[in-house]
Chain A
Amino acid sequence: MVASDSPFSSAAPAPAPAPAAEQQAAAELLDLAAVLSDVVPDLRAVFAPDGRLLAHRRASGVGADAFAEAATAPLLLRHGPLLTAPAAPSGMLPPAPDHPQRIAFNRRTATVREHPLHLVELTALTPEPADEADPSPDPTADLPELTDADVRRETHRLSTVIGLDGVYRAANGVTERLFRLAEEQIVGRPVSQVLRLTAQETQTLAQAIKHSLFDSPQHLTWWYRPPHQATPVTADVTLRAVRFRGETAVHTLTRLLTDPRDPIHAAHLRNAQLELANFLLSNANRFQQTTQLLEFVLRQLIAKSPAIGGALYAYSGADHQLVRELAHGTAPADALPEVLPLRSAAATVARLNRRRMRVAGRILSAELALTGATTHPLAVLPVCSEDSLHYVLVLTLPPAATLQHGWLAALLSLISDGLNSVATRERLRHELATTEQRYHLLFNSSADGILLTDGRRVLEANQTAAALLGYHPAELLTIADVADLLPPDAGARPDADLPPGWRELVRSTRRTGAAHTFETSLRRANGRELAAEVRLRPVQLGPEGEALVQVLIRDIGERRRADEALLRAEVLRQSARELRNLLGTLSLAYVSFDREATILAVNDFFVELTGYAREELLGRNYFEVFVTDPAERVRRLAYYFEQVLGTEQMEPQYESTITTRSGERLIMRWSRLFERDQTGRATATISIGRDVTAGVAAVEDLQRSRARFQDLFDNAHDLIQILAPDNRFLSVNRAWHQTLGYEKNDVPTLSLPDIVHPYHSAKLTHQLRALYRGDEVGQIETVLLTRDGRPVHLIGSVSAQWQDGQVVAARLILHDITERIHAERLQKAYYSIANLAISARDLDTLYGAIHRDLSRLLDTHNFYITLCDDARTRLTLAYSTSMPIVACGIGESRPWSDGATEYIIQQGSPVLLRRHELEAMRDAGTLRLLLRLPEVLAGVPLTVGGRIIGALILVDYTDPDTYKAADLDVLYFISSQVALAIDRKRNEVQLHRQNARLNAIFESGSHLMWSVSPTRRLTAYNRNFALAFFPTDQPATADPSRGGGVFDDHGLTLDLRLVVSQNETLWEREYAAAFAGETRQFEVRTVQLDGSEAWAEIFLNPILLPDGTLEEVSGIAHDITEKKLTQLELTRQEELFRGIFESFQDVYYRSDGRGRLVLLSPSVEANFGFCAPDLIGQSGATFFDDPARYADFLDEVRREGRARGFEAVFRDAAGRPRDVLINARRLVGADERTIGLEGLVMDISPLKQVQNDLMLAKQDAELALHAKTQFLANMSHELRTPMNGIIGMIELLEHTVRTPVQAGYVETLRRSSDALLAILNDILDLSKIQAGKLAIALAPVDLLDVLGKVKALFANRAAQKALTFTSEVALDVPRFVETDETRLLQILSNLAANAIKFTQQGGVSITLRAETPPSADTAPPADPPANAEAAAYPLTLRFEVVDSGIGIAPADAARLFTDFTQLDTTSTKVFGGTGLGLSISRQLAELLDGSIGVRPNPAGGSVFWFTIRCRPADEATSRRWAEEHEESRTRRARGRFTEHPPVLLVDDNVVNQTVSARLLELLGCRVDVAGNGHDALRRLADPAAPPYAVVLMDIQMPELDGTETTRRLRAAHAAEGRPCPPVVAMTAYSMQGDAERFRAEGFDDYVSKPVTSRELFAAIRRRVPTLAVEAVAPKTDGAAPDGPAASVNPLAPDPAVLAQLVEVGGEEFVRQLFVDFVAEAAPQLEQAAADLAAGRVREVLAPVHQLKGAAGQLGLTLLADTARHLEQHLRQPDTQAGDVAADFAHLRALFSTFATTCPPTTPSAPA
C-alpha cells in the first residue's frame, strides 16, 4: 500500500481529456468553494455531469493524500450514479465494503461559465464506537433505563432519544411543536436530516454521542435554527447514555435559551456574541481580500445572528454612492438596491471618524429605509479605515425580531473595529504595492549602487548599494550622515584623491543641481574600504518636491587591485632579495627550495652543517640529497607534495631528519614558511632550523626502556597512550585499540586531536599545553571518538616526561566511563524534559528541546512526534527532523488510518520493529501508509494518566543496529515525561491563545471593561478603564507591558467605589443585584480625573463559572456623554418649547410631509373648539372651508418656502366659518427635502369684522366724495354761465361810464366779479384735481418769463402795501425747462398772493434754485422705473416764497395744505379767500412730481416752498414753441375792426347773447345772433345773409349742440362747394388741451367763457387776419384800472434785450443800432408801400421780413410780431395786395409811431 503520486490514476479509468474551458471553470468553482464555505473538508472535487473528474483539491492536513487515494477515489467512482441522482444534499454514506472509513459527503451543483458542474466535498469521519470491535468491557452495561413515558413526560424541554446510528428513536411534544413535525416525521429519521446538519455539525454530534457513552453526560451549546423561523436560537443540549427499548441510546434534553431576561441565557448570549466576534476576527487573516472577509462575515452573521439576509456595498467616493457587491440570505436583492446614492448628509459619513461610526450607521440605516424598498429593519455596519468609508454591510432583520437587535448591535460594534483595521490594512497594502513596486524593481536591479540622500540622511538605497557597502539595505537607512560612508581618515589624508569635502559636494548638487563625478573610497560596514567611482546627481521628487541627491556608486576595486598587484609584485621581489641576504648571515641553517623541491638557496651555516659545497646543493632536489632512506624519501616527498603543497599549509615547527654528506643523521627542528608571489601562491619553502639531534636521543632512550613496561602497558584495562610533544601517538596499549577500534597501523598517522571529540578538543589541548609549560595538570576528562565515530567518555591522568628542560613525551592514562555518563545523561534528560514544559516558550520550542535532550542519548536523525485526539480520529505531526514517515507536513493532520504511528498508539507500549517485521506487517495488512520502509523503527506511545496522546518515533533507514532494545527502554523511560510536557504545554498554549483572544476582545473597542470580586475589589480591567480612572503616575498604567491587561492578581487595592464615589449607593445597589445573578444596565454620571462631566452606560454581568457559582461580576461601560448631554439639552429645550407651546394664544401646528397634523397647540380648543389630540393625523385640508384655498396655500408654501399673512376661512368645531390668518413655513430635512410644515393660525374673525365695517364706511365716504366732486364739476358750467353775463356786462358798462364816480362803481363791480371768478376757479380746479380730471400739459417754459409774469401780476399789489417784491434765480437754473407753465404760475401766484396778503411790512421775495440732482451712485438701484423717471426728469427745481409776515406756528404747518383750512378763523375776515389756495397748490405740486411745505423764516415770517421735477428744454425748441404760441402775446394788443366784418353769434342764453353781441360790436363787428343750432344753420344757408367772416358758436345748446351744428355746417358748405367761414367755439370748459379737442371736432379756434373783448378780438384776428384793424388808443387802456402796465409803451424795446445789447456794444453802439434801424427800415417801407400799391405783393415780402428780423433782434416785440404776421400772410401763394393792405398799413403805422415815440436818442428810456 505504497502511495502513488496520482490518487486517481491507478484506480480510475483515465478521464477523457476535458476541454480547457471546462477545467478552468472547475478550478474556479474550487476557488469559489474555498472562499465561500466555512467548512474545510478533506477533499473537494469537481465532476462533470458524466462523472469525469475535472479537478480536485485536498485539504492540507494529515492524511489527505492517503484519504484521497485509499478511500475517496474508489468511493466516488463506485457511487458515480449518486452524483447525477438528486441525492440528499448532505448525509452519511455507507462505508465502502473494502474500507472501514466513514465519509461525510456533501454535493452541490453549480453552473460556472455555462458548464454544469458537481462540487463534492468529502470529510472523513471517526468510526463510530459501535463499528469498532472494542475489546474493553461494554460501558453501557449498567446504563439507566428510559421509557417512552419518560421521554414524553418532559414538557418544558425538547426531549429526544437518538440511537447510536444517529436516528431518532423518540421525541416529546415540545420537540414536535418546535420542529413543526409530526412524531412519525421525526422518529426513524436521521438527526442530521431532520436538523439539516452540515457534515461538521454531524461529526460534532456524533462525537458528543460517543463521549456520552463513555464519559459522563455531555453538554453541548448548539446553534439551532428551527424550521420556518429566521432567527437561530441558542440551545443547551444535554446528552446522556441510556438503555432505551433494550438498546443503548442517547437521551437528549434541549433547553432553548430564548428568554433574554434569563440571566443565564443572557450570559450565554453574551458568550456566544464574544465567541462569534472572536471567531470572525480570528479569521480576518485567513483572507487575502477584504471583500472575501466581509462576505465571510456576512454569511456567518446570516447563519449565526438574527439577520436573515444582507448585502455588501462598496463605497465609491467619486460619486458618493454605495454599489452592491454581493448579497446573501432571504430576498436581499429585492430589499437592497444595486446602487444606493448617498445624499449630502449621509455623504459626510465618508469623512466621519471612527468614534462616530455608529451614528453613521444610523444615518445609513435611515437612508436605506427612506428608499422605501424594504419594510424590514436594517442593521448597518460601516467598514472604514482611519479616515474614509470603504464598505458597508447591510443586514436585513426579520420584521419582528426586536428581541435580538441589542444583541446584534453589540456584536456589530464588537467586530466593527476589527473589520476597520482590516480595511485600513488592505488599503495601505494596496497603496504600497501599486506605487512602489515598479520603482523598486528598477531601483534594485541597477548594476550601480544607488543612494538617495537629502544631504545628510540616506533616504533610500538599493540592494546593489547595500551589497557594495556591505550593509543590509535597512541598515543603510539608519546611517545618520551620508558622509559617514567615507573612511574616518578620508578627509585628513592629504593624498586622498577625493575632493576636499564631499558633504559640501552633495549639498552643492542639492542646491545648484550641478552633477559631480569623482573617485573615492567608501567605508564598508566591516570597516574595509571600497574603491568607488561616485556620481552625484540632483533629483527632484515631484514638481514641488524636495531637492534630493542621487549618489551612484560604481565599484572600481577591480581596476584598483590590478594597479596595486603590479606594485606588490615589485615589492615582493625586493623583499625576497633582502630576506635572502639577511638569512645568508644567520647562525641558523637556512635552506630554500621551490615547489619541485629544487634547492634555491642555502646559507653558509647550512653548508657547513651538511658538509656539502654550495654548488653541490643549488639546483638539486632537497629530498634526494638529504633523505637517504628510499622509503622515507618516498613518504616525505609524498607528504611534501600532497600535504604541504596541496594545502599550502605547514606546521610552523617541524622536525625532520637530514643526512649529511658524511652520512650522519641530524634531527633538525625547522621553522618554515612559504615564499609567495603576488597572487599569494606559494613559490618556495624557506626553512630555518637548528640541529636538535642531541635532544631526540632522550626519547630514544625511553623507547628502549619501553619494552620493559610493554607487558604491563598492554595488559592494563585503562587506555594508555604516550604522546610526542606534537601530539602524535608514540605508543598506545591494547585496551586503547580495543576500546577505540583503531588498527595498529592507523596509529602512526594519528595524532591526539584527530580522535578527540571536537567538543572536547579545545579543553584537552589547553590542558596539554599547560602540562608542557610545566603546570600541574590533575584529572583529565574527555571524549574520544572510536574509529566508527562513537564517543567514548574517559577520565584519567596525564604526566609529562622532561629532558633537558624540554618535554619529550606525555603519558595519558584514561578510564572508560561511558556507561556512567550515559546513565547520568538519561537522568538529566528526564529531568530536563520535565522542566521543559515550564521553561519552553511554546510547543515548537518544547519539541525542539525534547529533540535536543534526546539527541544526547540516542541517534535522532529521524525523529518524529505525532499527536492524536482522544477520539483517535486524526493524527497531527507535531515535530519532525526529516522527511516524515507520515504523508503530511509539520503541524498538519490527517485522518486516523493504519500507519505505524497508529500501530504504536494502539499497541500502547514501546515498539521496536526491524525492516523484515515491518514488511511482514504490511503484507498482513495490519500496517500501511508507510512512505518508505526504514531499516529499524523505534516508537513509544506518549501516555498521560493512561490516556495516549500520541507517539514518539525514531527511525533509521540505513543501519538496523542503530536502535536496540536498550534504547527502547530509554525511550520508554522518558516518554511519560515527554507526554506530560507536551500535554501540559499544549493546554498552556491553548489557554494562552484563548486568553489572547479574550484579551483582544477585552482591549478592543472603546469600552471600559473590568471585573470585581464580591468584596468589590477590582480583579481585572482593560486599558480604557485604566486611562479613564487611574492617574497617569499610577504604577498600574505606568508600566506599559501591564497597562490594561487582564490580571489574575493585579495587586491593587483600589476600591471601585472610591473611583466612582459620586454614585456610591447606585453602584452598590447595582453590584448587589449583579452578584445576585442579575444582568444590570444603567447610566451613571461621573466626574473625570480632569474634572469634566461624563456619562457612561454600564452593563454589569455576573460571571458564572461552569459549576454555576458566581465569583465575579464583569462590567462594561461605554461613553455616552455626548448622547446624554444632547439628550439632557433636548429635554431642557423641550420643556422650554412646551411652555411656549402651551401658552400660545394662536394655534401652532406642525404637519408631516403628507400634510397630516402631527402637533397642535392646546389653544386650538379655545380658538376653534377642537380638542387637539383628536386632530392629530388629520389632514390640514379638513379645516379649510374652500379646498381650492388649501391648494393655494400649499402652492404658496411650495413656491416661496413660506406663507405670510395667508388669509383663509376655517370651519370651527361648530361648523361656523372663521376668518384666519396663517403664517407657515416649510420644514426642511437634512437632505433638503420637505419634511412638513409648521405654522401659526390666528383667528382674525373679530378683526375681519371690524375691517369689513371700515371698508363699507370707506366705500360710503368715497361714494359721497365722488358725488360731491361730480356735483362741483357739473356746477362749473352752471356757475360760469351767469359769471359770463356779469363780467361781460361790467366790461360793457366800462365803455359807457361817464363820470369818475361811475368808473369807481364799475371798478368795484369788476373787482368783485374777478374775486368771485377766482374763487370759482379755485373750487373748480380742486374738484377737477380730486376727480382726476386735471391734466398736466408739459411744454417748454421760459422760467425767467414765468417769474416775470408773477412779478407783473403782484408788483402792483405789493406796491400798494408798500412791500418790496423781488425775485432771485440761482445761476445753475436753466432758463428753459419743460413743465406746465399754467400750473406753475398758479402755484406761484397762490403763494405770492398769500405772502402779500399776510405781510404788513417788509417784503416778499421769490427765489428759485436747482436742487442737486441725486447722483447716479446714490440713487436707489432697487427701483428701475423710478430711476427711469428720474432720468427722464433729472432736474428738481425749488421755488421759495419768503415773506416777513405774521408767520405760522409749526403745529399749524401740517394742517395748512389741507382742503378748506384757514388757520385763524378770526383773521378770515381780515384776509379773506377760500382757503383752497394752498390745498390746490399742494395737489398741483404733487402733479408736477414735487412737494410743498412751509418753514419759519429765521428773520420773521414764513418761507413757503415747493419743488417740481422737470427736464431742461432745448433752447431752440423752446423758442420755436414760444413763437408758435406767440398769439397769446398778441392779445395784449387790442384794436378794432374797421371794416365791420359780419359775424354770426350762436348762443341760446339771452344774457350771453347780449354780452357777446355787444362786445363784438365794440370790436367793430356786425353781429347776427342765432338762438340755437337750427337757427344758425338756417342763417348760414340763407343766400340773403351776408358772408360771415366768422361764426362764434356756443357749445352747450339744447337740441343741437355746437359741435353737431358745426359738423352739419361744414357738411352743407362742402356739398354746395362754398368755403365755410371759420367757426370759433365759445365754451365754459376751459381746460388745457381743449384746443386740440375742439379742432378735432371741426372748430377753427376757441375762446373760453367768460369771454372778454380782448380774447374775441384776438381770436377773430387769428382766423381772419385780413381784416383791417385800428389800434385802440392807449389812453383808453391806460384808463383801465389794471394799472401800471398801461404806462408802458408797447413799442418800446424789451428792456432785457436792450440791456443785453448794451452789454454787447455799449449805449452808444446801441443808440447807433436804433438809428440804423430806423434809417434802414423807413425807406424800405416806403418802397414797399409803393410796391404794394402797384400790386407787386412779392416785393413787399423782403422788406417786411427784414423789418421783422431787425425788430426782433432789437427787442421791438410789437413791431416784430406785426411784421411776422404780415410776412406769413405775404407768403401765402394766393395773397393779393388787398389782403395785406390793412396789415401793412398797421405795420407802417406802428413803425412810424415807434420812429416818433421812441426817439433813437433815448432807447433805454422805458427801462
Chain B
Amino acid sequence: MATPTVLIAEDSSVILNLTKKILENQKYAVVLAKNGAEVMRQVQTQHLDGILMDINIPIQNGLECTRQIRAHQDPRIASIPIIAVTGNADNYSEDDFKAAGVNAYLPKPLDFDRLVKTVKELF
C-alpha cells in the first residue's frame, strides 16, 4: 500500500485539523475519529497503519480504546501501532500507558517535529 493510513482520534477539531495537516504534509492518509466509539468503528471497517489517540476523548477514552484494540480477535487489528497523546501527562504514569498497550505517547501541546518523528518511526 503506497500511502499509509493513520487514524487521528481527537475531540478538538482545532488540534484535529492541525494534526491532520501535519501528517498529510508527511504523505499520510488520515481518517478521523472524534470519540471512542468512532475509533472502534473505524478500526473495524478499514485497514489502518496507526492511530494517534488522544486520551481525553468522549465515550471511551483513549486508553480504553487501546485496550479494546489490543484485545481484538483479529490480529491485524490488535497489532495496530498506537501513539497516545495527552495534555495531562501527570495523571498517567508510563506504566498505565504500557499496560494499555500504547506504543508511544506524546505530551500536549504537541511538538510538531517530535510528532512527525514518532509517527514515522511507528507507522
Partner of A1705, one of B12, B18, B109, B111: B18
Could you tell me which residues of chain B, from 26 to 43, have a CB within 8 Å of some CB in chain A? none
Partner of A1717, one of B14, B109, B110: B14
> When the two chains form the complex, which single residue of B14, B89, B90, B91 contacts A1713, counting CB atoms closer than 8 Å?
B14
CA of A1720 to CA of B15, assembled, Å: 11
Known contacts A1704-B22, A1749-B12, A1753-B109; 7 further A-B pairs (Cβ under 8 A): A1697-B109, A1704-B18, A1709-B21, A1716-B14, A1720-B13, A1749-B15, A1753-B110
Q: Chain A residue with minimal CB distance to B22?
A: A1704
Q: Which of A1515, A1717, A1746, A1760 has the most CB of B within 10 A?
A: A1746
Select which of B58, B108, B111, B114 is within 8 A of A1749 by beta carbon.
B108
Q: List 18 A-B contacts (CB under 8 A).
A: A1515-B111, A1519-B107, A1520-B89, A1520-B107, A1709-B21, A1712-B17, A1716-B13, A1716-B14, A1717-B14, A1720-B12, A1742-B58, A1745-B56, A1746-B11, A1746-B12, A1746-B56, A1748-B87, A1750-B14, A1753-B108
For B, the interface residue count at a CB cutoff of 8 angstroms equals: 24
Q: Is A794 an interface residue (CB 8 A)?
A: no
Chain B residue numbers with a CB within 8 Å of A1239 are: none
CB atoms of B18 and A1713 under 8 A apart:
yes
Q: A1716–B56 Cα gap in the complex (Å)?
A: 19
Known pairs A1716-B13, A1720-B13, A1750-B12; A1515 contacts B114 (CB<8 A): yes
Contact flag A1753-B14 (CB < 8 Å), given A1520-B89, A1520-B107, A1742-B58: yes
Are A1742 and B56 within 8 A (Cβ)?
Answer: yes
Main secondary structure of the interface of B (DSSP, over half): helix
Q: Please, what's the 1-or-0 string for B48-85, where 1 marks a CB less than 8 Å from any CB in chain A?
A: 00000000101000000000000000000000000000
What is the chain B residue whose CB lies nearest that of A1716? B14
Among B18, B88, B110, residue most surrounded by chain A Cβ atoms (within 10 Å): B18
Name A1752's closest neighbour in chain B (CB-CB): B109
B14 x A1720 contact (CB < 8 A): yes
In the A-B complex, the 3 residue pairs with the smallest Cβ-Cβ separation, listed nearest first, are A1752-B109, A1749-B87, A1753-B109
A1516 within 8 A of B: yes
Residues of A within 8 A of B111 (CB): 1515
CB-nearest residue of chain A to B90: A1520
Contact B109 A1749 (CB under 8 A): yes
Q: How far is the CB of B31 from chain A (nearest CB, A)?
A: 19
| A241 touches B (CB below 8 Å) | no
- In angstroms, Cα B108 to Cα A1720, docked, is 18
Q: When the two chains form their complex, are residues A1754 and B58 in contact, meaning their CB atoms are under 8 A apart?
A: no
Q: Give 1 or 0 for each of A1731-1760: 1 = CB within 8 Å of chain B CB.
A: 000000000001001101110111000001
Asked if A1700 is at the interface (CB within 8 A of a chain B CB), the reply is yes
Contacts A1516-B107, A1520-B89, A1745-B56 given; indicate if A1750 touches B114 (C-beta within 8 A).
no
B45 is an interface residue with CB less than 8 A from chain A:
no
CA of A990 to CA of B57 in the docked complex: distance in angstroms? 135
Whether the pair B87, A1745 counts as a contact (CB closer than 8 A) is: yes
Interface of chain A residues 1002 through 1034 with chain B (CB within 8 A): none
Indicate the member of A1749, A1750, A1760 with the most B CB atoms within 10 Å: A1749
A1750 to B54, CA, bound (A): 12
* Contact in complex: A1753, B18 (CB < 8 Å): yes
A1698 to B: closest C-beta gap in Å: 13
Q: Indicate if A1701 sits at the interface (CB-CB under 8 A).
A: yes
B42 to chain A, nearest CB (A): 21
Chain A positions within 8 Å of B58 at CB level? 1742
Interface of A is mostly: helix
A-to-B contact residues, CB < 8 Å? 1515-1516, 1519-1520, 1697, 1700-1701, 1704-1705, 1709, 1712-1713, 1716-1717, 1720, 1742, 1745-1746, 1748-1750, 1752-1754, 1760, 1767, 1771
Tell whether A1701 pairs with B18 under 8 Å between CB atoms, given A1519-B107, A1749-B87, A1753-B110: yes
Cα-based distance from A1720 to B14 in the complex (angstroms): 8
Residues of A within 8 A of B13 (CB): 1716, 1720
How does the 8 Å CB contact mask read for B93-123 relative to A, with 1 for contact and 0 for none?
Answer: 0000000000000011111101000000000
- CB of B3 within 8 Å of the partner chain: no
Nearest CB of chain B from residue A1098's CB, rounded to whole Å: 99
Known interface pairs A1519-B107, A1748-B87. Does A1704 touch B14 (Cβ–Cβ under 8 Å)?
A: no
Instruction: Mark each residue of chain B from 1 to 20: 1 if its CB lies under 8 Å from any CB of chain A, else 0.
Output: 00000000001111101100
A1709–B24 Cα distance when bound, in Å, is: 13
**In the complex, A1697 Cα to B18 Cα: how many Å?**
13
- What is the CA–CA distance of A974 and B17 in the complex, to the nearest angstrom? 156
In the bound complex, residues from chain A placing their C-beta under 8 Å from that of B25 are 1704
CA–CA, A1543 and B58, complex, Å: 42
List of A residues within 8 angstroms of B56 by Cβ: 1742, 1745-1746, 1749
Neighbouring A residues of B18 by C-beta, 8 Å: 1701, 1704-1705, 1713, 1753
Of B12, B17, B21, B91, most A-chain CB atoms within 10 Å = B12
A1704 touches B88 (CB 8 A): no
B11's nearest neighbour on chain A, judged by CB, is A1746
Bound complex: CA A1720 to CA B109 (Å): 18
Q: CA separation between A1745 and B90, bound complex, in Å?
A: 13
A1697 to chain B: which residues have CB within 8 Å? 109
Q: In the bound complex, what is the Cα–Cα distance between A1713 and B15 (angstroms)?
A: 8
Residues of B within 8 A of A1742 (CB): 56, 58
A1100 → B minimal CB distance (Å) = 105
Nearest-neighbour CB distance to chain A for B112, whole angstroms, equals: 6
Closest A residue by C-beta to B19: A1753
User: Nearest Cβ in chain A — how far from B26, in angstroms?
Assistant: 11
Chain B residue numbers with a CB within 8 Å of A1520 are 89-90, 107
Taking the nearest CB of chain A, how far is it from the CB of B118, in angstroms?
11
Which residues from A are CB-within-8-Å of B12?
Answer: 1720, 1746, 1749-1750
Q: A377 → chain B, closest Cβ, in Å?
A: 89
In the bound assembly, the distance between CA atoms of A1748 and B14 in angstroms comes to 12
Most buried by A among B87, B107, B112: B87
Q: How far is the CA of A1471 from the CA of B52 in the complex (A)?
A: 58
The distance in angstroms between the C-alpha atoms of A200 and B18, with both chains bound, is: 133
Report yes or no: A1700 in contact with B112, Cβ–Cβ below 8 A. Answer: yes
Which residue of chain A has its CB nearest to the CB of B110? A1753
Shortest A904–chain B CB gap in Å is: 133
Query: A1754 to B107, Cβ gap below 8 A?
Result: no
A1797–chain B nearest beta-carbon distance, Å? 19
- Complex CA gap A1748/B22 in Å reads 20
Specify which chain B residues have a CB less than 8 angstroms from the CB of A1760 in the assembled complex: 109
Known: A1716-B13, A1745-B56. A1704 touches B108 (CB 8 A): no
Given known A-B contacts A1742-B58, A1748-B87, A1716 and B17 have beta carbons under 8 A apart:
yes
A1142 to chain B, nearest CB (A): 82
A1704-B22, A1742-B56, A1746-B12 known; A1752-B17 Cβ under 8 A: no
Closest to B54 in A: A1749
Complexed CA–CA distance, A1231 and B7 (Å): 85
Q: Considering the chains assembled together, what is the distance between the CA atoms of A430 and B7 in angstroms?
A: 99
Chain A proximity of B12: nearest CB distance (Å): 5
Q: Which residue of A lies closest to B106 (CB)?
A: A1516
For A1713, list chain B residues within 8 Å (CB). 14, 17-18
Considering the complex, give the chain B residue whose CB is closest to the CB of A1720: B13
**Chain A residues, Cβ within 8 Å of B88:** 1745, 1767
- Which residue of chain B lies nearest to A1754 when distances are taken between CB atoms in the complex? B14
Name A1520's closest neighbour in chain B (CB-CB): B89
The interface centre, meaning the residue of B25, B90, B109 with most chain A CB atoms within 10 A of its CB, is B109
Q: Is A1752 within 8 A of B108, CB to CB?
A: yes
Cβ contacts under 8 Å, B107 to chain A: 1516, 1519-1520
Complexed CA–CA distance, A796 and B25 (Å): 157
Q: Closest residue to B16 on the A side, CB-wise?
A: A1716
Q: How far is the CB of A751 from chain B (nearest CB, A)?
A: 138
CA of A1750 to CA of B11, assembled, Å: 10
- Which residue on chain B has the smallest CB distance to residue A1745? B56
* Interfacial chain B residues near A1754, Cβ < 8 Å: 14
Cα(A1317)–Cα(B88), bound, Å: 40
Given the complex of chains A and B, what is the CA–CA distance between A1771 and B22 in angstroms? Answer: 32
